[in-house]
Amino acid sequence: MHRILIGLGGNLPSWVGAPRITLEAALAALEEAGVRVVARSSWYTSAPVPASDQPWFVNGVVSAETDLGPEALLGVLHGVEAAFGRVREEKNGARTLDLDLLAHGNTVESAKSPLLPHPRLHERAFVMVPLAEIAPEWRHPVLNRTAAEILAAIPAGPEVLQRI
C-alpha cells in the first residue's frame, strides 16, 4: 500500500454543481477507484495563480492510500477529472476539476510523467497551507524539509487564501 498526497482544485461548476460540490464528488469517485482517503484538509478559496480575471479556486489536499503505482494513479486522476468535465485547453486556465499527484510515498521522478514530488508544490501556498494542515511533518523527499518548514518559507505574495 502506498501513501500518497493529492491536491484538489477547481473554479468552474461541473455537472454536479459548484466547485466545492465537485471536489466532494471527486473524492467519492477516487474512493470508488481504489484510492482510500485517510485525511483531508479544510477547503480554501484562493485567487488564481498567476493573477487573472477568472473565478477564485476552491482548493484542498488529501492524504490517501492505494495499491496503484504512480503512472496508473495518474491515469485514474485524469479519468476522474474528465468525468467531471475537465478540458485541458490552456495552461493555468479555469477548470472544473484539477487533481494533482503531489507525492507518491518517497518516490522521486524527474525524467518521466508523473514528475514526483510535484515540481511546484513547495512554491504554492494554495497547496502547502492545506497540506501542512493535515501532514505538517510530511518530509519533501528532495528538499528534505517538512511541510510546515516549506510553508513557513513561502514568501507572502498576491495569493489570498481563506478557509471555507
Identify the pLDDT of residue 160: 66
Identify the pLDDT of residue 49: 76
Identify the pLDDT of residue 88: 75
pLDDT for 76-114, tens place per residue? 999 999 999 988 777 777 889 999 999 999 989 988 889
Q: Which residues carry out catalysis? A: 86, 95, 98, 100
**What are the C-alpha distances in Å from 66 to residues 32, 35, 72?**
11, 5, 10
Identify the pLDDT of residue 48: 85
30, 82 in Cβ contact below 8 A? no
Tens-digit pLDDT profile for the chain (164 aa)? 889 999 999 999 999 999 999 999 999 999 999 999 999 999 999 888 777 888 999 999 999 999 999 999 999 999 999 999 988 777 777 889 999 999 999 989 988 889 899 999 999 899 999 999 999 999 999 999 999 999 999 987 656 677 88
pTM, two decimal places: 0.93
Measuring CA to CA, which residue among 133, 115, 142, 129 is closest to residue 57? 129
Range 2-163: architecture per CATH:
2-Layer Sandwich (3.30)
CA angle 141, 79, 12 (to 5 degrees): 90
